[in-house]
Structure 1
């Protein structure tokens, strides 16, 4: 058994989520993939995957082996790249994830420019307003807009974005502009569920408080909440980059500025590894300074 080929096949199975998809990515038959996995499990003396007719699930041993295989294969790729021009012209598939609106505004243009500069590379951009497991879902890099807990991920700081409270000029003309967070109890709220719960937090100096604002609309899509806020349905809390265009156009007004909570950290994260693949390193070199400039 060619151990490196078997390890590669195993990693592709996990990343693809099915034996059939792995066979397509490897350009081999399904039978060859099944035999490779069976031979690898026999050689190791453990079951790596629990297989049913509907899904594959890593065993505890399979999860540990998968993470080690990725590191080993990354080291092999790095070693081979040192002997070729791939370091200068990275190739292969790069998978990046980002929050929907931030990805659309800031990441997608960078990815398009990066792929144009490196024609041997293929990129996939996943725009999701949820946190995913990079290893389990085969993602190379992620934009995270939140405080980062201690984990095995490596984070590169890009900057910060404010948490702002906005309303339309028409709404403020009808209901008045709040001067203190406690006044929000008599107002109406539209809420982006991906950012905040039913209570909104505020801080000024050493003082902090949480306020429940009567809610008239909530959505997991920020564009829908921004439009409702623009139409005067209620006050809305957003991240600074989400509302900036409407603020600049005079369609939203930022209120209670002195009570805004601390800004949120924006980071580019990847799985911990001693050696990064050339395509990941190349994208980081390309994207990090440009994203920092945008966030500045």
Structure 2
């Protein structure tokens, strides 16, 4: 029995939550995965897993063994990285994840510049609007918007963004400029689901005010809501990074800016098990100051 291979199979099963899910994660036949776990249990002379029809649970011995196995596998991985030279020159595959629109506009231009400076790094990019589990999905660095919920990760804050209310000059010429949040009751709006509940709460003289515009279109993406605002359908509210081109061209202008005070943090997050690979450190060192400057410039547009 290959004990290291058996450990890795066991960890995959535990992380996936079942033998069948573990076999899919490993791209290995279910009977082979089940056999390797059983062989490991026979070798150790104890049960590691309690198998049910739907999932698995760890025994007390299993919890202790899995914790030790994780440390052993991490140490071996670190030794392999050292031997391959990843701690001497930034090289190898680097996996990052980012939200779709923010990643496209704010992260990818910097990441491509990073690749030009580091020719021995291969970048794998996962752009999705969901929280990616870095360890389970083998991702090195994540860009997270908003409050962090996973305290097990290392995090570096690079700045903030805020919600901004937009309207087209043509719409304002027809309907007038709202000067206070209460004025939106006389205006049409294009909203999107991700921030719909919070987007119409403003700060008025230190008091939270709920604005109530007439909703003309409800979209599931901010891109559609912004496009509706450009076409003069109504006002829209979206994160400050999502209408940069429209602001630069004059297709949209900011309104109620003095009442948009709520900010949301932006972090780079990573899991640290042992010595941080040089490719990850190089990426963080490159991105952190540049993203801080890019987010700072958002307020100047």
1:288 paired with 2:280, answer no
Aligned pair count reads 288
- Please point out which of 23, 30, 36 is paired with 1:19: 23
Cα root mean square deviation, aligned: 3.4
Secondary structure of the residue aligned to 2:250 is coil
> In structure 2, do the counterparts of structure 1 residues 247 and 75 end up closer, same or farther at CA, with 3 Å as the change threshold?
same
* Structure 1 position 108, deviation (Å): 2.5
> In structure 2, do the counterparts of structure 1 residues 51 and 179 end up closer, same or farther at CA, with 3 Å as the change threshold?
same
Provide the residue aligned with 2:107 in structure 1: 107
Larger Rg: 2
Provide the residue aligned with 1:256 in structure 2: 256
> In structure 2, do the counterparts of structure 1 residues 121 and 40 end up closer, same or farther at CA, with 3 Å as the change threshold?
farther
Contact conserved, 1:204 with 1:261, CA < 8 A, in 2?
Answer: no
> In structure 2, do the counterparts of structure 1 residues 97 and 49 end up closer, same or farther at CA, with 3 Å as the change threshold?
farther
TM-score under structure 2 normalisation? 0.79
Provide the residue aligned with 1:7 in structure 2: 7
The aligned runs of 1:261-272 (5 Å cut-off) are 261-271=261-271
* Structure 1 position 224, deviation (Å): 1.5
Which sits farther off after the overlay, 282-291 or 155-164?
282-291
**Structure 1 unaligned residues grouped into runs of 5+:** none
Secondary structure of the residue aligned to 2:185 is helix
The aligned runs of 1:221-232 (5 Å cut-off) are 221-232=221-232
Q: 1: distance between equivalents of 2:92 and 2:50?
A: 26
Contact conserved, 1:230 with 1:252, CA < 8 A, in 2?
Answer: yes
1:176 paired with 2:203, answer no
Q: 1: distance between equivalents of 2:12 and 2:90?
A: 19
Contact conserved, 1:74 with 1:276, CA < 8 A, in 2?
Answer: no
> In structure 2, do the counterparts of structure 1 residues 123 and 51 end up closer, same or farther at CA, with 3 Å as the change threshold?
farther
Contact conserved, 1:169 with 1:251, CA < 8 A, in 2?
Answer: yes
Provide the residue aligned with 1:39 in structure 2: 39
Provide the residue aligned with 1:217 in structure 2: 217
Contact conserved, 1:166 with 1:252, CA < 8 A, in 2?
Answer: yes
Q: 1: distance between equivalents of 2:200 and 2:99?
A: 21
The aligned runs of 1:202-213 (5 Å cut-off) are 202-204=202-204, 206-213=206-213
TM-score under structure 1 normalisation? 0.80
Secondary structure of the residue aligned to 1:196 is helix
Q: 2: distance between equivalents of 1:268 and 1:147?
A: 12
* Structure 1 position 293, deviation (Å): 2.5
Secondary structure of the residue aligned to 2:194 is coil
Q: 2: distance between equivalents of 1:240 and 1:58?
A: 45
Which sits farther off after the overlay, 178-187 or 123-132?
123-132
Provide the residue aligned with 2:299 in structure 1: none
Report Cα offsets for 1:155-186 as digits up to 9, x if no partner.
11111112110011111111111100011122
Provide the residue aligned with 2:127 in structure 1: 127
Q: 2: distance between equivalents of 1:67 and 1:174?
A: 65
Provide the residue aligned with 1:234 in structure 2: 234
